[in-house]
């Protein structure tokens, strides 16, 4: 017997009849987008890479801290699916360490759990080991694999993409041709030059290169030690659009990882050698990852290089091996070491002359060098025009030409990229304070000049 459906059986006629009111066939469903970089959600303890005992400890500490929690909320706090912790909760109930305080009728996922006296006693013991409470830590081998998966592919940066990143900044083709190869290669870069010429701004604009997504672990675990990696202050988290419901735990990727933009971290004069290694919190007994580890798959900038409390030689000597081998060795209090990826684009920015940082052999350790020169008159004028346009501040071009002729050029002050912003901002402050017409005049520019720059004391 044929399996084909005879439409005549539906219409009662020998020929198929189609009603005019029938809707057209639905278009085929578009395949759901799956981020190839996203770490897949683990289904088993084997895929989680950790023993059930660690889940027990984390659950006990969470319940001890919060008093009571719904099963679904426990899973969300741990960054795993409820099916992963369901058998662990059953074990805790059988051992009389936890119990169901009340149920909402949809099974254990909506049941509210609390600890027994024995459970609280055991939780306190686990808190003596460490006070970490959060997403289940990621084993080091999984972290290494994910960092490798998130590396920039060859040829990722084009001149067009670089130009677009600097569309809000006045830059010359020479600057783009200098910085482009260094960024594309992801090797270390030294930007040097006079203060006020936009070295930090030049580096920060690299954030605009793309909207790439990377995944940063809440924490990693190595040799039994927990290291926090995700930093809500330093990382730019991307909120998921998929809602979390009672029967859905949200996005399908491994929620032990936080979806972020590629990192961009900056340290300045506060940098110390201790900040370049693991930092141990004696109260929580949990380690904090150093900045360059938090910046993996992104950029780490050392601003005002050479003005830290440690010498430039100490900083660069610390990174000789990481910069060459793309891996770093971090030390635990016990003396043990762990190896972590060093997939960080290092940028050093300084106002000092290169010879003040070290000799030729020393500077050779930094792969690329770039002198950010002071702007020419035309470039300075364009910066001035753009800044005034952004502030909707009108002025006469003849006024600016006369002003520049008086204060800049031969025998005058050298052009700096920060001067238009500084002087125009001061002029706007004066307009508002004095209640003047919102227009830039030469008199205001002269007053702004005097308030921006110091004069020789007689």
Give the model's confidence band at 1: pLDDT under 50 very low, under 70 low, under 90 confident, else very high. Answer: very low
In a domain, 31, yes or no: no
Q: Which of 169-178, 196-205, 242-251 has the lowest mean pLDDT?
A: 242-251
What is Dmax (Cα atoms) for the chain?
112
Q: Where are the alpha helices (DSSP H) in 249-342?
A: 291-294, 312-318, 320-325
pLDDT in tens, 393-448: 999 999 999 999 999 977 788 999 999 999 999 999 999 999 999 999 999 999 99
Tokens 């025009």 -> residue:
385
Among 340, 371, 402, the domain boundary falls at 371
Higher model confidence: residue 292 or residue 454?
292
In a domain, 4, yes or no: no
Cα–Cα distance list, 445 to 378, 381, 414 (Å)? 19, 14, 17
CATH of the domain at 381: 1.10.8
Nearest-angstrom CA–CA distance, 454 and 12 = 99
Give the model's confidence band at 13: pLDDT under 50 very low, under 70 low, under 90 confident, else very high. Answer: very low
Q: Are residues 109 and 67 in the same domain?
A: yes
Q: Are residues 194 and 297 in the same domain?
A: yes
In a domain, 384, yes or no: yes
Count of the separate structural domains present in the chain: 3
Contacts of 402 (CB under 8 A, 6+ apart): 442
Residue 230, domain extent: 159-239+252-371
The token pair that represents 347 in the structure block: 């940028």
Give the model's confidence band at 243: pLDDT under 50 very low, under 70 low, under 90 confident, else very high. Answer: low
pLDDT in tens, 44-80: 999 999 999 999 999 999 999 999 999 999 999 999 9
Q: Are residues 296 and 359 in the same domain?
A: yes
Q: Is the pLDDT of residue 317 over 90?
A: no
3-class state of residue 40 by DSSP: strand
The token pair that represents 154 in the structure block: 């060859």
3-class state of residue 115 by DSSP: strand
Q: Are residues 224 and 344 in the same domain?
A: yes
Query: So what's the pLDDT on residue 239?
Result: 87
Q: Is the pLDDT of residue 324 over 50?
A: yes
In a domain, 34, yes or no: no
Q: Are residues 388 and 418 in the same domain?
A: yes
Cα–Cα distance list, 218 to 272, 349, 368 (Å)? 24, 30, 33
Q: Is the pLDDT of residue 6 over 80?
A: no
Q: 110: which DSSP letter?
A: G
Q: Are residues 401 and 367 in the same domain?
A: no
pLDDT > 90 fraction of the chain, expressed in percent and rounded: 69
Q: Are residues 351 and 219 in the same domain?
A: yes
Among 338, 371, 404, the domain boundary falls at 371
Give the model's confidence band at 176: pLDDT under 50 very low, under 70 low, under 90 confident, else very high. Answer: very high
Give the model's confidence band at 231: pLDDT under 50 very low, under 70 low, under 90 confident, else very high. Answer: very high
Beta strands 279-281 and 286-288 are antiparallel
Give the model's confidence band at 232: pLDDT under 50 very low, under 70 low, under 90 confident, else very high. Answer: very high
Q: Are residues 261 and 352 in the same domain?
A: yes
Q: 30: which DSSP letter?
A: P
In a domain, 154, yes or no: no
Nearest-angstrom CA–CA distance, 404 and 410 = 11
Q: Is the pLDDT of residue 345 over 50?
A: yes
pLDDT in tens, 92-105: 999 999 999 988 77
CATH of the domain at 303: 3.40.50.300
Q: Are residues 301 and 440 in the same domain?
A: no
Q: What is the mean pLDDT of residues 235-260?
A: 77
Q: Mean pLDDT score of the chain, rounded to an integer?
A: 88
**Angle at 43 (CA atoms; ends 40, 48), nearest 5 degrees:** 75
Q: Which of 33-37, 283-287, 290-294, 402-406 has the lowest mean pLDDT?
A: 33-37
Higher model confidence: residue 453 or residue 248?
453
Q: Are residues 95 and 190 in the same domain?
A: no
In a domain, 458, yes or no: no
Q: Are residues 361 and 302 in the same domain?
A: yes
Among 339, 371, 403, the domain boundary falls at 371
In a domain, 7, yes or no: no
Compute the chain's Rg from CA coordinates: 30
Give the model's confidence band at 245: pLDDT under 50 very low, under 70 low, under 90 confident, else very high. Answer: low
Q: Are residues 333 and 427 in the same domain?
A: no
CATH of the domain at 111: 1.10.10.10
In a domain, 22, yes or no: no
Give the model's confidence band at 313: pLDDT under 50 very low, under 70 low, under 90 confident, else very high. Answer: confident
Nearest-angstrom CA–CA distance, 98 and 94 = 8
């Amino acid at each position: 017997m044929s399996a084909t459906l005879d439409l005549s059986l539906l219409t009662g006629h020998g020929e198929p009849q189609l009603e005019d009111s029938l809707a057209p066939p639905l278009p085929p469903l578009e395949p759901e987008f799956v981020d190839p970089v996203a770490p897949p959600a683990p289904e088993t303890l084997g895929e989680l890479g950790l023993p059930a005992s660690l889940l027990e400890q984390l659950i006990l500490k969470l319940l001890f801290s919060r008093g009571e929690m719904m099963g679904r909320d426990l899973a969300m706090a741990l960054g795993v699916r409820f099916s992963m912790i369901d058998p662990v909760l059953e074990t805790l109930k059988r051992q009389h360490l936890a119990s169901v305080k009340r149920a909402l009728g949809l099974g254990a996922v909506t049941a509210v759990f609390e600890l027994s006296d024995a459970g609280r006693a055991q939780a306190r013991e686990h808190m003596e080991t460490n006070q970490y409470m959060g997403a289940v830590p990621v084993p080091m081998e999984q972290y290494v694999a994910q960092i490798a998966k998130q590396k920039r592919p060859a040829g990722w940066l084009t001149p067009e993409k670089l130009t677009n990143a600097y569309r809000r900044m006045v830059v010359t083709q020479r600057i783009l041709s200098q910085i482009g190869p260094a960024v594309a290669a992801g090797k270390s870069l030294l930007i040097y030059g006079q203060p006020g010429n936009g070295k930090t701004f030049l580096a920060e604009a690299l954030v605009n290169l793309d909207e790439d997504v990377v995944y940063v672990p809440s924490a990693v675990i190595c040799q039994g030690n927990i290291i926090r990696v995700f930093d809500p202050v330093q990382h730019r988290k991307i909120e998921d659009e998929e809602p979390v419901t009672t029967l859905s735990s949200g996005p399908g990727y491994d929620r032990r990882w936080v979806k972020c933009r590629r990192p961009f971290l900056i340290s300045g004069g506060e940098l110390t050698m201790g900040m370049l290694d693991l930092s141990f919190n004696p109260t929580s007994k949990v380690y904090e990852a150093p900045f360059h580890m938090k910046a993996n798959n992104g950029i780490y900038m050392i601003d005002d290089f050479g003005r830290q409390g440690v010498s430039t030689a100490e900083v660069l000597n610390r990174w000789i091996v990481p910069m060459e081998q793309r891996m770093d060795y971090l030390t635990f209090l016990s003396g043990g070491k762990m190896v972590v990826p060093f997939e960080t684009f290092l940028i050093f920015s300084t106002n000092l002359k290169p010879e003040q940082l070290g000799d030729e052999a020393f500077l050779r350790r930094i792969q690329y060098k770039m002198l950010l020169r002071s702007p020419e008159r035309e470039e300075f004028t364009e910066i001035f025009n753009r800044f005034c346009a952004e502030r909707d501040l009108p002025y006469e071009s003849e006024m600016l030409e006369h002003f520049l002729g008086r204060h800049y050029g031969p025998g005058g002050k050298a052009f700096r990229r920060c001067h238009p912003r500084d002087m125009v901002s001061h002029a706007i402050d004066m307009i508002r304070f004095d209640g003047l017409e919102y227009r830039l005049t030469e008199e205001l520019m002269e007053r702004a000049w005097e308030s921006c720059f110091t004069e020789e004391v007689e």
